[in-house]
Amino acid sequence: MPGRLPEFTRSAIIPKWLEGKSRNQIAIECNVSQGAVSGTIDDWKKSVGVSLAEQLRDLLLAVGRSGISVVECAQGYRTFRMLSNLHVDEDKAGPFLGETVNRCIGIGISPEDIASHLQDLASFADDTRKLGIDMQEAGDFKDNDRAVSKKVRSLSQIASYLEKTKEEIGKSLLKKKQLQNECDLLQTNKSSITRETADMLKKRDITAEKLDWYLGMRTELLVSGRSEKDFELVLKAINFSRKKGFNLLAIAAEFSEYGRLKSSVHTFNVQLSILEKKFREVEERIAIGEQMIESKSQLQRNMVQLESMGFGLKQLRRLLSVIKEINEANGFSETDGYAVKIFLDQVERYYDSLLGFEKRAGELKAETNNLQIQYLGQVNIMSAIPYVGSALVYLLNKGLQVDQILKLAKLSQTHPDIIQPFIRSEGEQEKHDDFPKSTSSTHFSFSPPSSSSSFSAPPTQPHSPSSFQSQPQKTAGSTLQKSASIPPVIEPKSTVTTTNPSVDKVGFSDKESDVQPFAQIMPEKQPPPMKVQYDFPRIEADVSIHSDENPQPLEMRRKENNKEMYKVNSNSLTRTATIHGKQVSIPNSILLGI
């Protein structure tokens, strides 16, 4: 039984069959048998229904023959359904739409304009509902089940309504003009009446003023114990003043001014007391402000002084934070003032001792460096001693310390039976690889100043081994003065050679076991002056090397690129050490520990 076709092949067979292709053509295009094609189509018909499958095939064939796509077919179907729902005859709908479009194009109206005008017409119809125009049902779609139920106003009714409204507006304007004339006449009458009323009020005020004056005079006379008859005396006094030339109004004005001035003086006294009180308050505020300004000025001066001393606000805050962290770390939970007080007490108590300890530490460090240099010189001197020197250097290079070597020597003295099996005869020792002959090479421990050095010297001629001697000679009066932070390191696997014409070769192999006694000879003739340059990346030192024969010292100058230049005089013997593949020039005084 043949296997089931893949899904993508089955998916390709169904669309081809729906397009109306024959089974043979589908089998050729899909590269399968006709039976497989028939079986696939039958299975699909059973899954969707035979009638539905045939209808789909007929639909696709009809659409293909019409030359339209499925989307266009669906759009046409929706349009047909829409016309059917509106009960529009499709035979009449086409000419109607065509004529409408042609007319709109002829008068220059676009579809957007049509929609806009229809919307305006509908809104106008809604607005005219309040005008009282009779409504008329639209009867053009009486046979339509979905007839428009909105009431549309008749344009003729709107025109008649506008004409009627125009006439009413004219009548209203005429009536308004008549009323305006009447208003102007009434306004004129009002003005005249207002003037007459003002005159009458003025006269009334004068009369009332005179009456008040009379009543006031009468009241004053009665209050003062006078009778109404005394008024005649007052009148006589007034007449007498006039005859004598006195101005009663001036007299009354003076008395009135006196009363006003008296009241003003009282008011001014009250205001003066208030102003004096405010003045005292202002003086108090000024005094307080001056005190605050003085305090702020003093605080500013202190801050500037602290800033110049390096204790700015930022540094003080940082110091306070450190103090608090240290106190909290040590279990103190007191306030900040207590923490600062403790800190200042500790500084006052121990800072002097701390400076003394640092000074003493510097002195001890310098002394340690000097002792280390002397120690290195002594080791170099011992390395020149036959047998013993090479043995000591060998033990040191093996990692033994000085105290361990001394303990080993003491052990050999107290217990010779333990050391005896390890002692060989002189012949066996010469044959042993760990101690070669002492006249050929030596193992020298040297701590290189840097990983890179440069050396420049006049060329020299090699000499024969006959000029090499086994005992070193110390230059008389040579001294070494050095104060530096040079780490004391004794490194194995170093090779020391000489460029001196009087010495042929002093060196050793890279093997740790190949240890030779140190041998070095001072030259009969001193070499010309040489320049040696060292590179000390992390060393700060002052070095002075000189001899009695030539008191001119060796100089070291610090450069920005961390390089020091040494000028070696003619009395200094120079050696070259090969350390880790780097050539380093070494003065003889350093080699011999002078």
Helix (H) or strand (E) holding 461: none
Is there a single domain that holds both residue 113 and residue 218? no
Is there a single domain that holds both residue 373 and residue 513? yes
User: For residue 469, is pLDDT > 80?
Assistant: no
Task: Work out the percent of the chain whose per-residue pLDDT is above 70.
Answer: 62
Q: Identify the domain boundary among 197, 221, 246.
A: 246
| Segment 297-318, tens digit of pLDDT | 888 888 888 888 888 888 888 8
Structure tokens at 326: 């240290």
Task: Work out the percent of the chain whose per-residue pLDDT is above 90.
Answer: 5
Crossing angle for the helix pair 34-48 and 50-66, nearest 10 degrees? 110
Q: Could you give the CA distance from residue 100 to residue 94 in angstroms, rounded to a whole number? A: 10
Q: What is the DSSP letter of 66?
A: H
Burial environment of residue 567 by CB neighbours within 10 A (0 to 12, 13 to 18, 19 or more)? middle
Q: Could you give the CA distance from residue 42 to residue 35 in angstroms, rounded to a whole number? A: 10
Residue type, 399: G
Q: Which of 127-131, 147-151, 223-227, 362-366 holds the top average pLDDT?
A: 362-366
Query: What pLDDT score was predicted for residue 380?
Result: 77
One-character DSSP codes across 179-224: HHHHHHHHHHHHHHHHHHHHHHHHHHHHHHHHHHHHHHHHHHHHHT
Burial environment of residue 455 by CB neighbours within 10 A (0 to 12, 13 to 18, 19 or more)? middle
Helix (H, G, I), strand (E, B) or coil at 289: helix
Q: Identify the domain boundary among 218, 246, 274.
A: 246
Burial environment of residue 489 by CB neighbours within 10 A (0 to 12, 13 to 18, 19 or more)? exposed
Cα angle, residue 413 at apex, residues 408 and 415 outer, rounded to 5° = 85
Q: Could you give the CA distance from residue 89 to residue 83 in angstroms, rounded to a whole number? A: 7
Return the higher-pLDDT residue of 440 and 308: 308
User: For residue 462, is pLDDT > 50?
Assistant: no
Is there a single domain that holds both residue 83 and residue 178? no
User: For residue 132, is pLDDT > 70?
Assistant: no
- Structure-token match 């013993």, residue found: 388
Please, which pLDDT band fits residue 38 given cuts at 50, 70 and 90? confident
Strand partners, 479: 546
Is there a single domain that holds both residue 82 and residue 204? no
Q: Could you give the CA distance from residue 560 to residue 318 in angstroms, rounded to a whole number? A: 33
Q: Are 577 and 448 in contact (CB under 8 A)?
A: yes
Q: Which of 452, 447, 451, 448 is nearest to 488 (CA)?
A: 447
Q: Is residue 341 part of a domain?
A: no
Is there a single domain that holds both residue 78 and residue 178? no
Residue type, 487: P
Structure tokens at 11: 């998916």
Cα angle, residue 26 at apex, residues 20 and 32 outer, rounded to 5° = 160
Q: Which of 73-77, 171-175, 318-322, 552-556 holds the top average pLDDT?
A: 171-175
Return the higher-pLDDT residue of 288 and 434: 288
One-character DSSP codes across 19-55: TT--HHHHHHHHTS-HHHHHHHHHHHHHHH-HHHHHH
Q: Is residue 135 part of a domain?
A: no
Q: Is residue 235 part of a domain?
A: yes
Is there a single domain that holds both residue 112 and residue 178? no
- Structure-token match 């001197």, residue found: 381
User: For residue 418, is pLDDT > 50?
Assistant: yes
Q: Is residue 307 part of a domain?
A: no
How many structural domains comprise the chain?
A: 3
- Structure-token match 């499925």, residue found: 70
Query: What pLDDT score was predicted for residue 495?
Result: 34
Strand partners, 455: 532
Q: Which of 559, 550, 507 is nearest to 529 (CA)?
A: 550
Is there a single domain that holds both residue 114 and residue 163? no
Query: What pLDDT score was predicted for residue 419?
Result: 67
Query: What pLDDT score was predicted for residue 324?
Result: 81
Q: Which of 371, 550, 376, 566 is nearest to 475 (CA)?
A: 550
Query: What pLDDT score was predicted for residue 397?
Result: 79
Q: Is residue 354 part of a domain?
A: no
| Segment 229-259, tens digit of pLDDT | 777 777 777 777 777 777 767 777 777 788 7
| Segment 525-535, tens digit of pLDDT | 444 443 333 33
> What mean pLDDT comes out for the span 24-47?
86
Query: What pLDDT score was predicted for residue 543?
Result: 36
Q: Could you give the CA distance from residue 153 to residue 135 in angstroms, rounded to a whole number? A: 6
> What mean pLDDT comes out for the span 562-581?
40
Q: Is residue 486 part of a domain?
A: yes
Structure tokens at 330: 């040590």
> What mean pLDDT comes out for the span 336-342?
73
User: For residue 274, is pLDDT > 80?
Assistant: yes
Query: What pLDDT score was predicted for residue 45?
Result: 84
User: For residue 483, is pLDDT > 50?
Assistant: no
Q: What is the mean pLDDT of the chain?
A: 67
Strand partners, 543: 482
User: For residue 284, is pLDDT > 90?
Assistant: yes
The residues near 363 (Cβ < 8 Å, ≥ 6 apart) are: none
Mean pLDDT lowest among 83-87, 326-330, 412-416, 512-516: 512-516
Q: Is residue 494 part of a domain?
A: yes
Is there a single domain that holds both residue 230 and residue 366? no
Is there a single domain that holds both residue 190 and residue 90? no
User: For residue 89, is pLDDT > 60?
Assistant: yes
Q: Identify the domain boundary among 222, 246, 270.
A: 246
Please, which pLDDT band fits residue 201 given cuts at 50, 70 and 90? confident
> What mean pLDDT comes out for the span 205-229?
78
Query: What pLDDT score was predicted for residue 127?
Result: 66
Structure tokens at 445: 């421990």
Domain that holds residue 214: 158-246
Q: Could you give the CA distance from residue 592 to residue 551 in angstroms, rounded to a whole number? A: 19
Is there a single domain that holds both residue 378 and residue 462? yes
From residue 554, alpha-carbon distances to 346, 476, 530, 548 in Å are 47, 17, 11, 13
Q: Could you give the CA distance from residue 534 to residue 562 in angstroms, rounded to a whole number? A: 9
Q: Is residue 517 part of a domain?
A: yes
> What mean pLDDT comes out for the span 133-161?
52
Q: Could you give the CA distance from residue 16 to residue 402 in angstroms, rounded to a whole number? A: 102
Is there a single domain that holds both residue 105 and residue 217? no
Q: Which of 454, 444, 435 is nearest to 585 (CA)?
A: 454
Q: What is the DSSP letter of 476?
A: T
Largest interatomic CA distance in the chain: 176
Is there a single domain that holds both residue 179 and residue 235? yes
Please, which pLDDT band fits residue 3 given cuts at 50, 70 and 90? low
Helix (H, G, I), strand (E, B) or coil at 228: coil
